[in-house]
Amino acid sequence: MTGEKDSLARSLCWNCQSAVGGEYFCDQCIKIQPAPPDLDYFQRFDIPRHLSIDLQDLEQRYHKLSRKFHPDLFQQNSDQEKAISLEISSLLNKAYGTLRDPITRVEYLIRLEEGAVKDIPAKAPPDLLEEILELHETLENYRQLRETAPDRAVDLQKILITEQGRIADRITALEKELFELFDTWDRWQDQRGSASADQQKQGRSLLERMKDLISARTYLKTLLQELNNELSDKT
């Protein structure tokens, strides 16, 4: 949740022992402080937990923070300060890399909301199960024929190329649906503090829907990759 910054236990500056409360630099001696451990990626950039992000604004925030914490700026400082800058800089780079891309951004958000560490598992979209089974069969036949009777493999290759296009289209469609949910999520996020039980449920089902879309997308991406490899081997 937001507001964690305030609830962080106050601790002491490693250098001058004065009280610090989650600031990046000590007020008294201006030494760099270890990264507050509980800040999520959104909080690190001081932006709301939204899925629609202004990328230019994010980049500006990232550059501004990089200019404060990058290890290049601590080359002449103590080992302790170097280590802290390395840690904060690493977190910053990871946070920016994750939020910059809409897919990794939504994956991160889902994990954050669920408190999960693991990746979202890949799952075949239920309506495609039969088609995918068939595709695997065609792929297997194609592999065999390519070795034994290359001329007969050509027909199967045509089918596979068609499938390749269909899967790519499906991925695009899944992504479109996913991105359309972004604004719904953002609106829900803005009023989640005062949400009724019903609205809470709404938020959870929104997350579930996005998770399913991600699962299906990951599955189809792997399948498409497999097809691409198989078909490019040929040429």
Partner 1 sequence: MSKIVGIDLGTTNSLVAYMDRGEPKIIVDRNGRALIPSVISVDSQGWIVGDRAKERLLTHPESTVYSVKRLMGKGLADVQVERKYFPVPLTEKQSGIIQVELNRHRLTPPELSALILKEVKQRAEEFLGETIKQAVVTVPAYFNDSQRQATKDAGQIAGLEVLRIVNEPTAACLAYGLQKKKRGVIAVFDLGGGTFDISIMKVKDGIFEVLSTNGNTHLGGDDLDQRLIDLVVQEIQGEYGEDLRKNARSVQIIRSEVEKAKRQLSSDDVAEIIVPVNENSVYRRQLKRSEMEESIKDLIEMTMEPCRQALEDARLTAKDVDEVILVGGSTRMPLVRTRVREFFDKEPHSELNPDEVVALGAAIQADILAGGIQNMLLLDVTPLSLGIETMGGVMSVLIPRNSTIPTSAKELFTTFVDGQKSVDVHVYQGERELVKDNRSLARFQLSGLDPLPAGMPRIEVNFTIDANGILQVSAKDLRGGKEHSVEVKPSYGLGDADVERMIEESFKFAKSDMEARLLIEARNEAETILRHTERAMVQGERLINPDEKARVQENMSLLREAKEGTDHRLIRERIDQLDKATIKLAELLMDSSLRSGLKDKKFSELP
Q: Which residues bind partner 1 (CB under 8 A)?
A: 63, 66-67, 70-73, 75-76, 86-87, 89-91, 93-94, 96-97
Least distance in Å: CB of 40 to partner 1?
A: 15
Residue keyed to tokens 């990626």: 41
CA 92 to chain centre: 14
Least distance in Å: CB of 92 to partner 1?
A: 9
Least distance in Å: CB of 174 to partner 1?
A: 19
Q: What amino acid occupies position 90? A: S
Task: Pick the closer one to partner 1 by CB: 97 or 150.
Answer: 97
Longest dimension (CA), the chain: 79
Least distance in Å: CB of 77 to partner 1?
A: 10
Least distance in Å: CB of 55 to partner 1?
A: 12
Task: Pick the closer one to partner 1 by CB: 191 or 225.
Answer: 225
Task: Pick the closer one to partner 1 by CB: 62 or 185.
Answer: 62
**Whole-angstrom Cα distance, residue 123 to residue 116?**
18
Task: Pick the closer one to partner 1 by CB: 131 or 175.
Answer: 175
Which residues, including other chains, have CB under 8 Å from residue 122's CB and lie 6 or more apart? 215, 218, 219, 222
**Whole-angstrom Cα distance, residue 114 to residue 208?**
10
Task: Pick the closer one to partner 1 by CB: 185 or 219.
Answer: 219
Least distance in Å: CB of 91 to partner 1?
A: 8
Backbone φ and ψ for 20, nearest 5 degrees, come out as -130, 150
**Whole-angstrom Cα distance, residue 201 to residue 204?**
5
HSE value, Cβ hemisphere, 13 Å, CA-based, for 112: 20
Task: Pick the closer one to partner 1 by CB: 199 or 222.
Answer: 222
Alpha helices in the chain (DSSP H): 4-7, 41-44, 55-69, 79-100, 102-114, 129-148, 150-190, 197-234
